[in-house]
Structure 1
């Protein structure tokens, strides 16, 4: 079977009843049949993403509501943004679905005070809401699959084990029909490291533990890590924790966010084998706008921001130095950073731990880029989280796998 046939066969049913039931509650049939109107509460990014999903199902909200005064009078996806009182006056029988993972109780209280009954307010679970509102941005249409079929076929052929191929096909299938939450939960149950191998209650998010505790990467007594997107030192912590007695582990940690860099410095503890760089990895030396948030969402920005950071090629920073592992989790800048590390990768053939979930096409473009830089890697996909994030490509030189 070709990749399109594999994805089509693995795609969930197209009725989207799962999405409708979760977002419109027990009265979804009345909404579906046009007997009562419905409103989306939340004029933020979640609300903006939910409206197109409803429209794809031929369901049209009558309005969007929000509690923030500054948003009232604006529009979301062509729908008016109303305060709850005005919305109730215009649509007193409407169902209100909450496009907000936080503050649901406070929002419900405001809606009740505006006149909506408790049976008119639908609280979607935060986990399901994250799925519905984020997955839409990565959707694969049938035309997308056909257009990228050669690249998808190549990536599928590069993957080295059944688990990786299963994750690849299932991920594409879920994105081909993105509103099936039950199928997504089955995917997590089968593939999530968090569910299969619960992480220790330790520093950092689970993926920082799994980078060095998985079934693919084999650590030796001497390792040299380049950590791009070192954040607050969580990956560094777990890397040093794996160092065996008598071993020597060296780390080069890049983190441009000023808040996170301060925390990273604390984890390093003036270790003489840990080198810190307040800089971003990129394809060339430049100064770029940056969202300096102090969180895992800090990232390079195309739009002007108050903060600008220095970025550079790993080839210029580290070429000539030995490297055994390169990890990149840099919020969509992975492709640019890999292009700036061509010589370093060719010279050292390090193991690569690369996030492939920030941009939709990373799933096939990053394996293809690495294979172009230097052939002879084996490729594995592993899901190091319990949601749609932290899908990691582990690229390991064949010589390491053969030892």
Structure 2
């Protein structure tokens, strides 16, 4: 299917009508939320704050220790108890959205348990257009308004695989159909044949890898496995104190195993040095917010630094910069201005955290560095871990 067919006005109008019907069903009958983790609790708070808030009947959880108690002020039911109390027709929203399980698999399991009206997290968020967007999923209106920019990005992509992935992702945002299986490349940030040392730096140069959103060092380990020698220097940004301690342990391990130098930066990667609000969720979804949002949600503030500043302090020139900063990618890119415009450093940018990242970030980067070729790869299910690679010609 062509991009023009995917974004045809009649298709988008039908998608909008489907969302309105889902919203009406939830408002009339209330809903249950499957999964009492961060996504479920966040959705419960946001729904409760709506002027036309639907009834929240509670959570469904497969965790036995949670069943029968309250979480975030809502009761937690087992599947069988929820089905017996509320019936098969109550809308159930699957709040499980992560890289190790597909949305379709979880939704099918809920259907097999007897629930007749199972919604995905993107279904619910895009049905209530007064809710903030969830990950890469926006409203049909956003897709309509962005059609010209989306078409420009398809033309920018450098290979057929990238264009196919791009069209499939845009189509999924229209249909919210998670049943069709898609192949993903698990070699995130280092896909074979695409990321090679000759494409990143000269043979006699030190390869400088910058990891924005280093978490506990998982990507650092991946870099060391891909480039296991001392002719490299990694600079890893991580603002969460708990994750930073684990990152330092990973850095010590990598340095001992490879001889490469690793610099750990206890800060979020942003446009300039300073401070910013932060919500430490205890997992890879911890993220930056405004200071006022952090204070309201019981978070904290953390240090902020730019890639350009951190590199200049160390006398380094970036070869390859990776960004996975939970929706803060554009701000981190702003702080990589010199590395992009002067040095044409290779980039790997997560483009699934905000609905328009998939097309706005490539256009932003093209404006900064016309020498880039762009490639798109999926490294997780349902759009999770979709990465844009910008490589200089």
* 1:103-252 matches, cutoff 5 A: 103=63, 106=67, 107-109=76-78, 112=81, 116=85, 127-128=103-104, 132-134=120-122, 136=126, 137=134, 138-178=136-176, 180-182=177-179, 185-186=180-181, 188-189=182-183, 192-194=184-186, 209-220=187-198, 222-244=206-228, 247-252=230-235
Residue aligning to 1:63:
30
Correspondent of 2:332 among 337, 350, 363: 337
TM-score (norm 1): 0.69
Match of 1:258 in 2: 241
SS in structure 2 of the partner of residue 304 of structure 1: helix
Q: Deviations over 1:203-224 (max 9, x none)?
A: xxxxxx4312433111256421
* Aligned-partner Cα distance in 1 for 2:388–2:15: 32
Aligned residues: 326
Task: Determine whether 1:376 maps to 2:371.
Answer: yes
Please list every run of 5 or more consecutive structure 2 residues that lacks an aligned counterpart in the other structure.
68-75, 97-102, 108-118, 127-133
SS state at 1:289 partner: strand
Deviations 1:317-374 (A, max 9, x none): 2145221100000001110111111112223212101000001111111111111111
The match for 1:317 is 310
Q: Does the 8 Å contact 1:240/1:249 carry over to 2?
A: no
Shift of 1:283: 1.2
Q: Tell me, in whole angstroms, the C-alpha distance in 1 between the residues paired with 2:121 and 2:33.
A: 17
Question: Hey, what's the Cα distance between the residues in 2 that align with 1:291 and 1:243?
Answer: 33
1:300 to 280, 284, 288: 288
Q: What is the root-mean-square deviation in Å for CA atoms of aligned residues?
A: 3.8
- 1:352 maps to 347
Deviations 1:226-280, CA, capped at 9 Å, x for gaps: 00000000111111122255x5121000101101100000011173610010011
- Structure 1: where are the runs of 5+ without partners? 20-50, 84-98, 195-208, 399-403
For residues 33-86 of structure 1, what are the alpha-carbon distances to aligned partners after superposition, in whole Å with 9 as ceiling and x for unaligned?
xxxxxxxxxxxxxxxxxx967226x67542346899x999x6775223457xxx
Partner residue, 1:200: none
2: CA distance between counterparts of 1:215 and 1:181?
A: 29
Change (3 A) 1:148 1:2: farther
CA shift for structure 1 position 113: 8.7
8 Å Cα contact 2:26-2:54 kept in structure 1: no
